[in-house]
Amino acid sequence: MIDERTRQMIEYYLPNPPDPELEDNEFYYLQEGMTSRVIRVFALDVLPVKDGTEYGLYTQRSGRLVKVDTGYGDPCKGARMCDLYDNKIDCRNREHNTCDDWQRLRKIQKEEGLL
């Protein structure tokens, strides 16, 4: 049984079910620029930084490293887990863009049979 706070976080950060087509370490990422688009990426590199962890993203088709824009005009090497999603709708809407531990919530959601 989960507590009310955890249930609220799941409802808020994970409004849609995961995409069953995604493979291990595969996510959706909103690539912003002149035109924002949702792309499928693999998070393969773990890049420790001062205040957390970033992941190097590679495209599914070309295998190229995806340039991540921090929003401040300076591209960085990786993306935070809060920038990665397990379904297109949440990615497009940026549902959990402040929650780095959304995977823990998704695991609880599955264990409790809430999917």
Question: Could you give the residue ranges of the DSSP H alpha helices within 1-115?
Answer: 4-13, 88-93, 102-111
- Is residue 13, in this structure, part of any structural domain at all? no
Enclosing H/E stretch for 41: strand 37-49
Each residue's pLDDT expressed in tens, for the chain with a length of 115 residues: 789 999 999 999 999 999 999 999 999 999 877 778 899 999 988 888 777 788 888 887 777 777 766 555 555 667 889 999 999 999 999 998 888 899 999 999 999 998 8
- Tell me how many domains the chain contains: 1
Residue 85 lies in a domain: yes
Determine contact, residues 70/77, Cβ cutoff 8 Å.
Answer: no
- Does residue 6 belong to any structural domain of this protein? no
- Tell whether 46 is covered by a domain: yes
Range of the domain at 86: 18-99
